[in-house]
Amino acid sequence: MHNSPHSTNHRDEFRRYSAEDNSALKQQYEKLLSSEQIAAWIVTHPLSPAQIDCAVAVMLKILDGKCKMRPAEKVVMTLLYDQVKTKPGRLLTGELHSLIAAARNRSEDDALKMLLYENRLLAETAISRPVMKQFKAFIRETGLLVDTKADDENN
């Protein structure tokens, strides 16, 4: 991942969010926070187009404020999204990446928030619940995220 002027400083986000997490969880996520480590994980665990759709949908949920993952998990999922956003999904279009980029840079824009909300709902509708559950299980089983009970069924 390159650092553009609009990139989020993920380490600062992690530090801010990590105060809410227990130390064992923090230690596990500190090891996963670099984009290089996420890229290495993707090499050994390539995502299918359907899984890329799931990563995009989770990013939409994070930006829309509806994701119930732990804050540190949101940071990891944001890093994952940044690594896969150029790869083709199965159902979701590339136009969502422009929307996500705009939402990351202009979070106070009410019209943009509404567009984000609408597209999040469409993405959640397009991806079946079993596909999303399989994606979540995959990223936990392969060590990208720690298995916790803190997230909801739709993340």
pLDDT in tens, 62-110: 999 899 888 889 999 999 999 999 999 999 988 899 999 999 988 778 8
**Band of pLDDT at residue 141, cut at 50, 70 and 90:** very high
Whole-angstrom Cα distance, residue 121 to residue 147?
25
pLDDT band, very low/low/confident/very high, at 37 (cuts 50, 70, 90): confident
**In 10 A of CB 22, how many CB atoms?**
9
pTM of the model: 0.75
Going by pLDDT thresholds of 50, 70 and 90, the confidence category of residue 16 is very low
Which residues, including other chains, have CB under 8 Å from residue 3's CB and lie 6 or more apart? none
Residue in the block written with tokens 């990590």: 18
